[in-house]
Structure 1
Amino acid sequence: MEKELIKSLIIEYQDFALNQDFITRPFSLEDKANYVFVGLRRSGKSYLMYQQIHHLIQEGHSIEEICYINFEDDRLVGLQLNDLEQIKRAYEEMFTYKPIFFLDEIQLIPSWEKFTRRLVDTGYQVYVTGSNAQMLSSEIATTLGGRFLIQEVYPYSFSEYLQAQQISLEKNWQFKPSVRSQVARSFNDYFHQGALPELLLFKDKRSWLRSLYQKIFFGDLIARYEIRNVNAMRLLIKKLAESVKQPSSYTRLANIISTAGAKVGTQTIIDYINYTEESWLIFSINNFASRFAEKESNKKYYFLDNGILSLFLFDPETSLLENQVAIQLKKIYGEQLYFYNQNIEIDFLIPDEGLAIQVSYSLQDPETEKREIGALLKADAFLHLKRMMIITRDEKRTIQVQERTIEVVPIWEWILTPSPHKSSV
């Protein structure tokens, strides 16, 4: 690649990063650490880079110390490992600073981790982003040798979503009808359309979501993993979307998809699900009650964004509700999050916290209320829970039963309640 083009890109990207507007997100980075930002496409990883660049400038650094490169730029198509060294040399011919590298979507360059490790080994500070969780694979983790910290980046939280719409929540806002109505309207959009930051810029949000999904499907899945049975992958994702509330085994999924006309084996399903998780389209949680083998083979699957999930559903309300709760819990508790399914069904269980959560769109039906309360009380009998909750769409009350308290909380209020645990952005 021509060095003069690289130099012009370095200057262009310095100006670009300096003039970016963004919503400040609640995360803090270690001053001297190197970071890998990972997450779903368009979840805001690049904007976290811009935020960190502005933070460094506020701390006294010059924009000329920043070497930011976006590898999705069409002018950089076809770059190889050796070209990364050319970028470093081009910068050093222009400036006397030791640069701070911001390498955006660097997973597009084969063997990128070798270059970044060498940078860190020779004393450079480096930030990288990527849409593929293979950046966290054991091979790359070994190559990076513990030199990078991992920052998972999720779509907007609801509080960030409100901030992006310039809705501020002052003390006792719940008791102000006009503000409460604004929050309710915004949550309805957040609930159905998802929380990818760039989505707010578009009027036709569903078309934008369809376009993004197609890019993830054909770019991050089909092309990257060289998948030949495209129809099987398409049917698998559709089936996972339709089954977010139910555990699914690999064998059952293979049988369903084969019956639908896309003949596929269990091992292929295992591979396809791994690819889909690695691309940050979905995540899974295990059954706390199962033996190890069943934990691995019989999981519940959720989508990282409600807007993408909604593309697959005709009557989405109950599925979107549980999916939104799953996203929030995953951000807070990570690998500590489970479901429980053995004689009783508990939607979400955090054993370390003694917390069990049921998700029910409404408790107006007495049979529904009886079922949800009964499951929690049975779980409490042998798990000795500290806290039991039922998250609904709009209902709020407290249930006292058998000297125990069960909190019934509307999702929009629960999702705005600060967690005592540090969550990913």
Structure 2
Amino acid sequence: MKIKRNRYLNKLISRMNNGLIKVITGIRRSGKSYLLFNLFYDYLINSGVPAENVITIPLDDEDYARYCNPHELYEYIKNKIEDKGGKLYIFIDEAQYAITKEEMKNRDKPIRLYGVLNGLLRKKNIDVYITGSNSKFLSSDILTEFRGRGDEIHILPLSFSEYYPATDKDKYDAWQDYLYYGGLPHILAETNGEMKSTYLSRLHKEIYLKDICERYNLRDEQGMEALMKIVASAVGSLTNAKKISDTFVSNGNNTLSVPTISGYLTYLTESFIVEKAERYDIKGRKYISTPSKYYYTDLGLRNALLNFRQFEETHLMENAIYNELIYRGYNVDVGVVETRENVDNKKIYKQLEVDFVANQGSKRYYIQSAFALPNKEKIEQEQASLVRIPDSFKKIMVVNGNPPVWRNENGITIMGIFEFLLNEGSLEL
């Protein structure tokens, strides 16, 4: 099954031969290798690049384990490119395998892999592409270790617009599956719900949890897993390390301190398992440092972590909207609008929440996830924050289903989730 990932493929094509290291980052099993080794590789071959001029090195393959040593990796590449003419393309998959645990712990010493990559850039006929599953040692180092010569393409699991055409279901059934099992590409190859659930549960235990504990040398695997479950349960809710610590204590577990929990949250975001959305005071035009919201990069992994027992469609739809905005390249915050109301001749200050403030260059959209608007009272409740925003940027409410797009008397656009997800230009309607 060939899944189209044109948004990411076009990003790679537009960056060809730009003199920078193309760094494809994203959660494990999200399709980074498929994008590079299949879709982009096929594009190069169909464009006339000889196959021998594309050198592929999957470092997570046992056959290539020796090249996790940066010196061996450089020698291998040097031998492969020797005496070859024309443009050469180097693909290194899961590059973090060539970064040692010692290098991860001691950042005062240079990471040898980066020296190899910078050395390759000095060769004029080489174009370098790498993938990786950890932001701390790849995307966050692009501007430092690569000295401004890195170019990141961040990839997510399948968006609904990528997922739905690859199924044989109508969009309503496909949407329910997507909310339940998520968008990791291999899910489409599993033939029934039991196999999908087993796959996701195994990934969590054998890949994601194990990866984090090994990468950061964590001894308390149970503590990390318990934290992940709390974050998964709190999707769509404001939280921070202190609130999570209080939850642990209330459950009779006081083994994790607030600083430890804060570090664990950082590890989860660095591994792309969750994304952090900070709060932004819209009227005051400033960020509020805490609490924040955390959204799961893949809904299926979130559900598997909770043994598929917490299927709250309202929160999952909100998470899917957040992921879609990130997929489209927006920077996304949680909005706060402070208001004053007179209650019994007293001024009461209230903070109203805007689910998402999406920014991209000069564009800004305020978006509310409103699962259902059954009556006028619910509409008033959902739009309360939007109507108090003192600027003219577009305001949108996204509801479940597929109702026609309309604009109410307050100038707020109301659209269904399918219009929002499947129409590339939905924010402009």
The answer to whether the superposition gives a TM-score over 0.5 is yes
Could you say if the C-alpha distance between residues 373 and 157 of structure 1 is closer, same or farther in structure 2, counting changes exceeding 3 Å? Answer: same
Could you say if the C-alpha distance between residues 420 and 317 of structure 1 is closer, same or farther in structure 2, counting changes exceeding 3 Å? Answer: closer
CA contact (8 A) 1:71 1:105 kept: yes
More helix by share: 1
Could you say if the C-alpha distance between residues 70 and 297 of structure 1 is closer, same or farther in structure 2, counting changes exceeding 3 Å? Answer: same
Question: 2: distance between equivalents of 1:333 and 1:22?
Answer: 20
Structure 1 unpaired stretches of 5+: 1-19, 168-180
Deviation at 1:358, TM superposition (A): 1.4
- Are 1:101 and 2:82 an aligned pair? no
Please point out which of 282, 291, 295 is paired with 2:288. 295
- Are 1:407 and 2:413 an aligned pair? yes
CA contact (8 A) 1:391 1:410 kept: yes
- Are 1:283 and 2:275 an aligned pair? yes
Deviation at 1:143, TM superposition (A): 1.7
Matching residue's letter, 2:396: M
Question: 1: distance between equivalents of 2:292 and 2:162?
Answer: 30
RMSD: 2.7
Matching residue's letter, 1:350: A
CA contact (8 A) 2:331 2:358 kept: no
Match of 1:125 in 2: 127
Match of 1:23 in 2: 4
Question: 1: distance between equivalents of 2:115 and 2:358?
Answer: 38
Question: 2: distance between equivalents of 1:244 and 1:387?
Answer: 25
CA contact (8 A) 2:368 2:396 kept: yes
Could you say if the C-alpha distance between residues 344 and 305 of structure 1 is closer, same or farther in structure 2, counting changes exceeding 3 Å? Answer: same
Deviation at 1:39, TM superposition (A): 0.5
- Are 1:270 and 2:244 an aligned pair? no
Match of 1:206 in 2: 197
Question: 2: distance between equivalents of 1:284 and 1:131?
Answer: 17
Secondary structure of the 2:422 match is coil
Deviation at 1:70, TM superposition (A): 0.7
Count of residues in correspondence between the two structures:
384
Q: Is the deviation greater in 225-234 or in 39-48?
A: 225-234
Question: 2: distance between equivalents of 1:62 and 1:140?
Answer: 29
Deviation at 1:341, TM superposition (A): 5.8
Secondary structure of the 2:143 match is helix
Q: Is the deviation greater in 93-102 or in 214-223?
A: 93-102
TM-score by length of 2: 0.81
Match of 1:32 in 2: 17
Q: 1:348-390, CA deviations, whole angstroms, 9 ceiling, x for partnerless residues?
A: 1236544222112212255433311223222x3x2x2432222
Matching residue's letter, 1:344: L
CA contact (8 A) 1:113 1:143 kept: yes
Secondary structure of the 1:344 match is strand
Secondary structure of the 1:405 match is coil
Deviation at 1:326, TM superposition (A): 0.7
What is the aligned-residue identity percentage?
24
Question: 1: distance between equivalents of 2:257 and 2:130?
Answer: 36
- Are 1:315 and 2:311 an aligned pair? yes
Question: 2: distance between equivalents of 1:139 and 1:154?
Answer: 20
Match of 1:396 in 2: 403
Matching residue's letter, 2:31: G
Deviation at 1:394, TM superposition (A): 1.5
Question: 2: distance between equivalents of 1:335 and 1:145?
Answer: 24
Match of 1:4 in 2: none
Please point out which of 344, 350, 373 is paired with 2:352. 344
TM-score by length of 1: 0.82
Secondary structure of the 1:133 match is coil
Question: 2: distance between equivalents of 1:373 and 1:82?
Answer: 59
Could you say if the C-alpha distance between residues 153 and 347 of structure 1 is closer, same or farther in structure 2, counting changes exceeding 3 Å? Answer: same
Question: 2: distance between equivalents of 1:325 and 1:400?
Answer: 20
Equivalence map 1:371-390=2 (5 Å): 371-378=381-388, 380=389, 382=390, 384-390=391-397
Secondary structure of the 1:338 match is strand
Deviation at 1:400, TM superposition (A): 6.1
Matching residue's letter, 1:105: E
CA contact (8 A) 1:38 1:132 kept: yes
Could you say if the C-alpha distance between residues 44 and 331 of structure 1 is closer, same or farther in structure 2, counting changes exceeding 3 Å? Answer: same
CA contact (8 A) 1:395 1:408 kept: no
More strand by share: 2
Match of 2:107 in 1: none
Deviation at 1:340, TM superposition (A): 2.3
Matching residue's letter, 2:269: E
Question: 2: distance between equivalents of 1:293 and 1:215?
Answer: 41
